[in-house]
Amino acid sequence: MTVTSEESARELLEVVPVVMREIRSQMRSRRSLELTIPQFRTLAFINRNKGSSLYEVSDHMGLTPPSVSNLVDGLIERGMMTREEHPTDRRRVRLAVTSHGRAILETATRETLAYLAEKLSNVTPDNREVIAKAMEILRMTFARSVRSRS
């Protein structure tokens, strides 16, 4: 049986929200981490892309620059991030994750990974290989489309 790209897209639209809802629920249940999904994603993005601007975070998150600015302000107030002036353009800022923010990010990542690994422990090894291959294909497909927009 051949699966069309439209059928694959429909499956993606149905499954991704279910997975994200599960991850959000897991993170909410661990209130000691004190991170929402947008805060987690912001910290993770900036940790991977040191010196990012508010615009770059806004583009990555799919949020308006004022929304990202508020999100970042909250993380700065909590000591998880810093905002520095750009060395050559006063209108831009560079964002960085603090050691405190990195520690919280690492804890959140570790606990979420452990939860997901437990969920996937009931999946057969063959099906876990299928999942890994699907994730690799999705990463390559969507990373390529993000790069082409830049």
CB distance 12 to 81 below 8 Å: no
CB distance 43 to 27 below 8 Å: no
Q: What is the pLDDT of residue 143?
A: 85
CB distance 92 to 75 below 8 Å: no
Q: What is the pLDDT of residue 149?
A: 47
CATH number for the region 31-122 comes to: 1.10.10.10
Q: How many CB atoms lie within 10 A of CB 111?
A: 16
Res. 63 pLDDT band, cuts 50 70 90 = very high
- What value does the mean pLDDT take over residues 27-36? 70
Ordered by start, the domain boundaries in the chain are 31-122
- What value does the mean pLDDT take over residues 109-133? 93
112 pLDDT more than 90: no
Report d(CA 108, CA 143) in Å as an integer: 24
70: left (phi over 0), alpha (psi -120 to 50) or beta: alpha
Task: Look at 35-39, 53-57, 130-134 and tell me which has the smallest mean pLDDT.
Answer: 35-39
